Amino acid sequence: MKEVRYIRAITEALREEMARDEAVFVIGEDVAYPGGSFSATRGLLEEFGERRVKDTPISESAIVGLALGAATQGLRPVVEIMFMDFLAVCMDQIVNQVAKTRYMFGGQYRLPLVIRTPCGGGLNAGPQHSQCLEAWFAHVPGLKVVMPATPYDVKGLLKTAIRDDNPVLFVENKALYGLKGEIPEEEYLVPIGQAEVKRRGRDVTVVATSRMVHQSLEAAQTLAKEGIEAEVIDLITITPLDKETIFQSVEKTSKLVIAHEAVKAFGIGAEISAMVCEEMVDYLDGPILRVGAPYAPVPFSPERSYLPQAEDVIKAVKKVLEY
């Protein structure tokens, strides 16, 4: 095992897959000479050349459209969209073209296309560069949406996504880019569609995504000092959703809290709540509580007061345990 930062785990995954398969190429704004906005593609231009590491004009719609065409012709593009907020600019290409091409042509086309994009706060980048919009895309059939929370998962999952013959929206929380973690020296893959129990517990289930996995684990450590054992599940994949792992935990604990950085209203937490109520309501001993951001744009300052934290998870757990 070796210790790497989250951002370097991404670089390693890209380098290994580009070396393994000549059909893989990287495209996006500043991915070549600067090495990407957050340095994820640093060094790839020198190693693989301009044919496979392509800078583009500032036109997200054109970038995704080019990648879509390349994917239909047997290539495996990895697109970098500088901020998740900018996916709104290429919404038509993603929702009406990328997500639907395999359906519209009866499966005759493969569409191996990965769109990498950073989400979330933590940089005081303001309301147009800090949003978590995964719920928009989880609502669209034909897209896989993933949100890895650790260096181990981000590397293994990116390699899996690049090899997938379907489009994958690969969402990275930029607050995690500096996070250190251990990964194997040898090659490994992380499957799409499989959640992971990061901490075992008996009293309450906490389902979390991305940065909120770490906030939930921190909360669980604090709660353990008070004799409360929280089971923390990292979804890893938003869609296809691994509801079996969630259901098994809820069957054991009978309590559920869901935590994500995105706005709480109409988010992934609401969908999970509905699924559990529809299929597992007899196992619940109290209401399902959600932790998320308020229904307002992300402020430039004070950002921390807007973003959900470990203390919000603790508060929700203690409230649900009152029932």
List pLDDT tens digits, range 107-123: 888 999 999 999 999 88
Active site residues: 129
Strand 144-146, strand 180-183: pairing: unpaired
Closest CA to 10 of 186, 211, 238, 177: 177
> pTM here?
0.97
Which fold is adopted by the domain 2-183?
Rossmann fold (3.40.50)
The domains spanning 2-183 and 196-320 adopt the same CATH topology: yes
User: Residue 108's pLDDT is what?
Assistant: 87
**What are the structural domain ranges in the chain?**
2-183, 196-320
Of the ranges 34-38, 52-56, 81-85, 162-166, which one carries the lowest mean pLDDT score?
34-38
Give the integer Cα–Cα distance in Å for 289 and 115. 31
Element housing 199 (H / E): strand 196-199
Give the integer Cα–Cα distance in Å for 96 and 110. 16
Closest CA to 158 of 90, 80, 249: 80
Give the integer Cα–Cα distance in Å for 263 and 321. 24
Give the integer Cα–Cα distance in Å for 59 and 38. 19
Secondary structure of residue 88 in the 3-state scheme: helix
CATH of domain 196-320: 3.40.50.920
For 253-310, the pLDDT digits (tens) are 999 999 999 999 999 999 999 999 999 999 999 999 999 999 999 998 888 899 999 9
Does the pLDDT value for residue 131 go beyond 90?
A: yes
Which structure tokens are listed for 237? 């994949």
What is the residue-averaged pLDDT of the chain?
97
